[in-house]
Structure 1
Amino acid sequence: MSTDSNRSTRATVAAETASPRAPGVLSALAQFARSRLSRDDDTAARLGIDALPGDLATLEHGALYAVQAAPRSPECDALIWETVRAAGKRPVTVVLARERGDAAARLRELGLSGSATPGWPRRLNVLAMPGVPDAAADNEAPPALARLFGGLLALRRFGLRRDALYIVEGAQRWFTWSDTAALVREGRLLADWCATRGVTMLLLLGDNAAAPESDVSPDFDEAADKPGGRELNGACAGVARVRRANGELLWQVDFWRAGKALVTGDVRALRFTGDGRLSVASPDTQSGAMRIAHDEDRVVVCRAVTGDEPWVPRNWEVLDDRDAVVAACRDARAATVLLAHRNGAQLEQLCEAVHALRRRSGRALKIVVVERGEVLRHQYELLMLSLGANAVVGRDTPFSRLESIVQSVQGQLYTRPLMPDYRAALAASLADAALGYLNVAAFCAQAQAALTRGAMLRLPHVLAKLALPPSLAHVDALGHCRPRRAGDVFTADATHCYVFLFGCRLSDADAALARIFTAPVESIAEKVTYLSNEGIAAELDALDAANRRAPSADYSDLFATATPAHKPAAAAEPDSVRRARAELDALHDVLEHEARRQHADLTVDTETATHVRRAVRARMPLVEPGN
């Protein structure tokens, strides 16, 4: 597109009215007219960032500048068009790294047409630079300088004007990044070309132009913080980057020359204004008028979250399912996303969605997981927070309260360390199949493994240490312990019973222990001591060391390993276990016959004999009778 139709006609009128008999007068008048018309053009252009100091925003005549900014991103788009607006009466040529139709659509959004538009330069050319087809990209790369010459020749076809401003989006395609020597030559050639013709050129290079693009947000991509192509910087009058760090948009200056001044290492936080311009963040600025990203007011909701609610806020985008929400938020930066948790069968898919959204969109995105079915266990709630969720909302939370929670997360940044692999984090939150009684050595190994595996999520565990009275046999105390959750195991040494509660908070330990024991805990233990993560490891080490010095009694033959409630018993028992169970049944018959022969007072419960085996208290004393 060209809006060259509004050229000033004053110089032409002066030339036509001058007398040919007075060439000196004609020349003087023409020179005077040109000087008057170019007075505004002599003023240096500036970058279109509000409140940016002049020594960081000046674009001098005949200079080459390079800014790393992701092509077609909102910040890059705002930088281009506000810089064009700030050019005044200077000729401006903009090269957009997009298809011709997309470029034309963007111009229509800005209100530009073939005629002059108030507030925009009178001489404005907008050119499209479509992407290279995949077939052409697979061919052998062109020689050094070929792409740069091709770009300059394309600009020349549309006319070169002195004092013009050229803005090239996606300019990384003009350079040979794989050859440092060629990159240096290309940079010097382009800088000399600008100085010779007196034009200013602003190159907008894709993020990490020397490396392929990645779907990972710069917030979590360590390689994105290492700019490539430093060989090009030596030919530039200024080099800067528009990048995201910890969810915040930054203007990071490597160096910038303005006249005789040189600024290096300057960093400014950027915000979007209400009309989409970029501005330097300032504490004096009204916070309500500035946004950390262009889509900060957007709310995308899964339909399962709203359910049958008769009224939903008008600005909420309600989509059918989780996959539709993830697809709609592909380019989101600071929007709010609400996902629903229904049941454990969908836990892995929910983990994948939360992790993908956070990893792709960065730390400014707000993710809220809402329980709409089963309640998330505590370790799964921590899992969601570690994978990228800002908050987890309980199942019984009223819808009006949910709106308040959505409002409360506005402006937040996700500051937790993000797990690199959601599958590893999910595996760390899952309890082992172990359940019920284990001998001391196996108990210590099981608990230590759970501590190590859950460390990445900081899962809380509790070790309950119950001091048994001398009058109570261990088998009786252990017989009252009936855990039902996978990962909850127990054992006993000479004086204590130990219960390991997987993924349990210290504040919930009393209630959990009361559910596990079939009799009141006070009637079983003289004293109960609860140890959290800090003390569990030391207690396990001491217990394991004592067991090695003097092995504790092993009651594995009396307490069959229980089956977790969510697994069928038949599926949990392989052939070896069934054979061992048959041998234990035979052993039980022998023990029962021996007890009757010696007139023992043991009564065997025939209903539970195949699952629970209790020893005769008089025949297996754990404490000396005299004590």
Structure 2
Amino acid sequence: MTDPAAPNIPVVRVGVSGLPNLTDSMTIGGAYVLVAETPSARFPLLAASLSSALEQGLPCTVIVPANPEQFIQRIDSFVPLDAVTLIANKSLQLFVMQNEFSKAMFRFGADAFAEEMEEFGIPENSYLIFDQADELLSLHDISLALEQISVLGKWFAQRRITALLVFSRVTEANAGTINAIMDNLSGIARLGGDKDGLELTFDYWQSPEGAIAARHYILLTDELGLYQASTKSTPLELVSESEPSSRTDAPDTASARVFYMDPDLGSLAKLTPGGWQYADTLIGMMHASRNLPTATCILSFQHDTNLRQLAEAIHTLRLTLGRKALLVVQEKGASLRYQNEALLLRLGVNLVIHRDVPTSRLTLLLESIRGQVFNRNVDINFEAALASVVPTMLRGYLMPTHFVREVETIFKRSATLDIPCALIIGTPLPDTPMEDLLGNIALSRPGDLSTASESECFIFLNACPQSVLLATVERIVHGAIDTVFADVKFLVHRDEINTELAAMTRSAALGSVPDYTEISRTWVAALPATGSSVPNVQQPTPSHVYLDKLSTAPMGNGVSATTAPAPTSPRSDVSDLRYIPPESPHVLTDGEWTREEATSTNAKPDTLGQATSFGRHSAPRAKRSSIARPQSPHGSEATEGTSFLGVNIRH
């Protein structure tokens, strides 16, 4: 199977036999989280997923906290891997975290870690598994965790790396953070056990064929110890006591009634078992499906679809048909915005089928959700929910006081569904007048606003998930952020944004504020389709050490494995990695690797042999904002050597 958006790249599988494509596949470049509530239960899933990717010819990278030989042995016990050959031909790369990795992530930021992964040559169009990724994100600090996952998610998406981050030590205290970062992820799944056995729960999951939420599966094991998904319903899927029946058995496919609005599905209806009936309007759909609690309704979303009417029809169908009915929205020549998709899923939709999914796969998608019971509470104020996704009709530049009023109005409207918003505060480069900067900002969506003080530019983005925030801003300002702003802050929490709005209101009350209305209009009208008048400046590359790359497979049983040291210059190709014998003196110029640093206290032994830590001279991390940005390695503060991940060298 391939992603319709990238037909030449294999799709990564979760690794559980019997799962439908909607939950078994991952979108290319997506960041996914697996919370292993039963940590030891993760290995069969990781083994099957890794093996499937390797069999499809997809380059794979695995990052582990320690003892890579133990990880390979556990994987090999389920699916035999020729690790020596795979590492030799670069189909598989293994990296080991260094001491105090979490402290390094806090001090230098996720952006520097992403740069280091790129230095080590983690390939594009590949699969990355980060096992025990609990130290990758600062789960005790929601704001910092949001920064980190936003930067990493952007890097994965740019390089089309599908990433699976496995957390094995998540506590109840961290649950709020995991939920908070969901907007930056393509999916979250939980693996744990209860009285019915092992269970895999998908809180939210995006696949090449659509998005689903709240899906639960009981896991069984086959003769190899790998997982198989059972069709047995979990307790979360049971119908509430207020409903007439609590049976969750799926209806027989042949007798199921399917109602559809897309006339192009007529040919498919003739070839598919069951009673398919065409309904040309939403009213017709609701009338035809009445009194059929197990009906399947396929509604269409097109360019001319009225969102309010579609949402109202979905909410009415869910309330009248009950939890067993299957409600599907098929995108037809148009795509739902993020907030609109969230609204429909909240009001009762089981599945949104993306516009790129061919019609021939529709029956398989319907079969994959057959028997599902909708378990979210739909007793919601419809008008309030709809208002959450309907922005103000204004867009573009506003005077500061008007800007504040409009943002506050949007906040009030979007409170019901907690639609994500962001405020970007940037200081222009010294040689860029504020008029030029405002004129270069292209805002086309209602609810996206801008304003400015004498020294700072403010951009408010409504319903913008953090996973695409940086890319969206760079598109709006027609250039990389560091080529447009001398300094920039990203605020994604409403209390932080409200603080800035209050400060803006006080400044406006104390004195005159500049009015760029006419200048902004003139520049927007003359704005070219592409390009920017701001010169493109190469961003500096951090030079911190995070990863230890194994050059041969860990063998275990006391046999150590050799490793290749990190690159000697930023962004050098993996083929440039050189082995430095520990006994030979090697003193390089400033900014390169130094042999003396190998004797630092960060050096640590492990089961692979003597671990030697090499450090780089780097500037301390600058004060962070809500979204981390690459910091220059040549700061004004005193530098010091730092080690994040050791380099294992066989003596």
Q: Which structure has more RCO (C-alpha within 8 Å, separation ≥ 6)?
A: 2
Fold conserved between structures, TM > 0.5? no
TM-score for both structures, normalised by structure 2: 0.40
From the two aligned structures, give the one with the greater helix fraction.
1
TM-score for both structures, normalised by structure 1: 0.41
